[in-house]
């Protein structure tokens, strides 16, 4: 094999190894994120049903289709922050109540993902509004 052919062979093997490594990292990183999307979606579904609202009714109030609501609820599509906040407003649900339940649901659905994200939920779960204002004024939140 010529030097040039050896170089191409080495480059191809290296690219394949990097591809496997990137794929492995992608899958490892995707699991917690997908689990979080699923937990958020399931919580949206629970709250909507508790309020006696259909997906079609919620979609109409949000200016999206019933199919889009279904995609959010099944964790197929990630909901953007503005839509989520407006949805919580429509469903008359506080953000901390919503994310407390998302945290609990995530711990059931994917303990691995919960381990990754659980520290983000502590301020929501363990801090009252009064304590939050004190912590914020003390500069504990950026």
Span 27-52, mean pLDDT?
85
Which one has a higher pLDDT value, 120 or 67? Answer: 67
Inform me whether the pLDDT recorded for 130 exceeds 80.
no
Residue 113's pLDDT band (cuts 50, 70, 90) = confident
Identify the pLDDT of residue 55. 97
- Residue pair 69/58 in contact by the 8 Å Cβ criterion: yes
- 110 vs 128: which has the higher pLDDT: 110
* Region 75-96 average pLDDT: 95
Give the mean model confidence (pLDDT) for residues 99-113: 90
Local structure of residue 79 (DSSP, 8 states):
P
pLDDT band at 129 (very low <50, low <70, confident <90, very high): low
Residue 32's pLDDT is 64
The confidence score (pLDDT) of residue 25 equals 40
pLDDT, average across residues 120-142: 51
Identify whether the C-beta of residue 44 lies closer than 8 Å to the C-beta of residue 79.
Answer: yes
- Res. 114: pLDDT tops 90: no
* Percent of the chain whose predicted confidence (pLDDT) is above 70: 62
List the one residue out of 88, 58, 86 whose CA is nearest residue 71: 58
């Amino acid at each position: 094999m010529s030097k040039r052919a050896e170089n191409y062979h080495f480059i191809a093997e290296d690219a394949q190894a990097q591809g496997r490594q990137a794929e492995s990292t992608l899958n490892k990183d995707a699991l917690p994120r997908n689990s979080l999307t699923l937990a958020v979606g399931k919580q949206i579904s629970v709250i909507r049903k508790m309020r006696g609202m259909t997906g079609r009714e919620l979609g109409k109030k949000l200016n999206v289709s019933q199919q889009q609501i279904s995609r959010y609820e099944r964790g197929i599509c990630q909901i953007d922050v503005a839509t989520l906040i407006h949805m919580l407003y429509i469903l008359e649900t506080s953000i901390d109540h919503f994310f407390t339940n998302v945290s609990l649901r995530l711990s059931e659905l994917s303990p691995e993902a919960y381990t990754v994200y659980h520290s983000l939920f502590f301020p929501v779960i363990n801090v009252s509004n009064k304590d939050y204002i004190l912590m914020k004024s003390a500069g504990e939140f950026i």
